Structure 1
Amino acid sequence: MRAFRRRILLAVVLGLAVPTGPALAQFTVFDPTNYASNVLQAARALEQINNQINALQNQAQMLIGQAKNLASLPYSSLSVLRAQIDRTRALLAEAQHLAYDVASIQQAFTSNYGAAPLSATNADLVARADGRWIISVAGFQDALKLQAGVVGGLDANADQLSALVSASQGSSGALQAAQAGNQLLALQAQQLAQVTALLAAQGRADALEAADRAAARADAKARFWRFMGGSTIP
């Protein structure tokens, strides 16, 4: 009987010592393996986020670089270069007496520089010589006007060159650098056009002078043969 009572008492004590219900739910068991796995997963997720951030930063830098490369040059010298070319063309168009035209040149050489007709009088020969002299003087005057116009535009060309070089050196991308280079080439082409116009004007004046000398010799020959009584000019 005493042994049975002892067993019941022990069972009651054990029953009071073991928590049940909510008390049992508050008891937490630490699992080191599960904790290490969770930490590893969190580290991997953080690494992926950092990689994505770096990728986005690289893409942003690439887009910024592309935007700079596609940015257009804010400076243009086209209007100034076109104005200078138009001024040179206007000076060429003002050619006096003998224009830069094949038909007019042919007509002038037929009337003023060709062989003197047998029926030409001394007054006719003098008039031909005066006409040639006027054309020669006008040719040299046209050349001088064109030279003055080109020299007058040297300051504008120098300003354009400085502006374009500054724009090229300060370009933020490939497109701006290429556009600045193209405008520098356009400036060079405009200067070459002016040099060509100068050579043409000077060559025209020299050719008129040479033609005048040749025609004067032909007229002198005609006078000599007429003085000698010749009926034809050899």
Structure 2
Amino acid sequence: MTPRARLMPIAVLLSLGLLGTQPATAMTVIDPTNLVQNMLTAVRTLEVINNQASQLQNETQMLLNQARNLETLDINVLNRLRTTLASTERLLAEAQGLAFDVQRLDQEFTRLYPAEYKHSVSGERMAQDTRARWKQGLDGLHTAMRMQAQVAQNLTQDESVLADLVDRSQSASGALQASQATNQLLALQAKQSIQAQQLQITQNRAIALELARQAAAVEEARELRRRFMGSGTPYTPHPVQFYR
């Protein structure tokens, strides 16, 4: 049944009521059709207002959702990650022995780990180089162990950072907060990857120093043996008669 059909009996009743309550001299002629049209117009107006109100509510909820999605995360672990990463970088900068700079390393390596000792190099100089190579290897081991200790300390802080980020990510109220939490988790992963590379560098450096020391020791032993044997005719035994 249409709204107009539903309102038609109401309009008729209203018309009869008005006719019954008013005296004959003051009787007003009411057009039921016009009354129905007016009531239908009022109903349509009310429906439009209700639709507009619902639309405004939906838009308000949409704006609230957008505002929630634009809320930023209330935690930023970037400075904490930089602090722990700086601790391992400082150890690399303080590393003694062969420098991590390519040009300086080439100069020191050529001097201390020669592929061949020249004849003009004195025995005292070779002894000094042997001592310097031993010191280089010891410094390399020390740096690797310091790096291992620092990484172990940083793991405790990384666990705290990870717990905070996971908690914020799970309780994120909007897309931006979730995205920021994910980005910071990726930053933590990248930091740990860099830290692992630094640790591997110091460990491989210590191994390389030991291998280079062994190679230099072989060359030094060869040169010392050559000098001991000399370049003349080697001694050959021959019988000697002490008594006639």
TM-score (norm. length: structure 1): 0.85
Tell me: CA distance 1:127–1:49, structure 2 relative to 1, closer, same or farther (3 Å). Answer: same
Match of 1:30 in 2: 30
- Aligned ranges 1:1-234 → 2 under 5 Å: 26-114=26-114, 115-230=116-231
Over residues 119-160 of structure 1, what are the superposed CA-to-partner deviations in whole Å (9 max), with x where a residue is unaligned? 233332221111100000000100111111111010110010
The unaligned stretches of length 5 or more in structure 1 are 1-22
2:70–2:174 contact (8 Å) kept in structure 1: yes
Greater Rg by CA: 1
Q: Is the 8 A contact 2:98 2:109 kept in 1?
A: no
Q: In structure 2, list runs of 5 or more residues that go unmatched.
A: 1-22, 233-244
Instruction: Determine the C-alpha separation between the residues in 2 that align with 1:54 and 1:230.
Output: 108
Equivalent residue, structure 2, for 1:5: none
Amino acid of the residue matched to residue 91 of structure 1? L
> In angstroms, what is the RMSD of aligned CA positions?
1.5
Distance 2:204 2:96 in 1: 15
Partner of 2:3: none
Aligned-pair identity (%): 44
Number of aligned positions between the proteins: 209
Q: Contact 2:77/2:161 (CA < 8 Å) preserved in 1?
A: yes
| Paired AA for residue 219 in structure 1 | E
* Distance in 2 (alpha carbons) for counterparts of 1:28 and 1:66: 58
- Once the two structures are TM-superposed, the CA of residue 38 in structure 1 deviates from its matched residue by 1.5
Indicate the larger mover: 118-127 or 180-189.
118-127
Q: Secondary structure of 2:29's match?
A: coil
Counterparts in 2 of 1:25 and 1:194: CA distance versus 1, 3 Å: farther
2:81–2:188: 8 Å Cα contact kept in structure 1?
A: yes
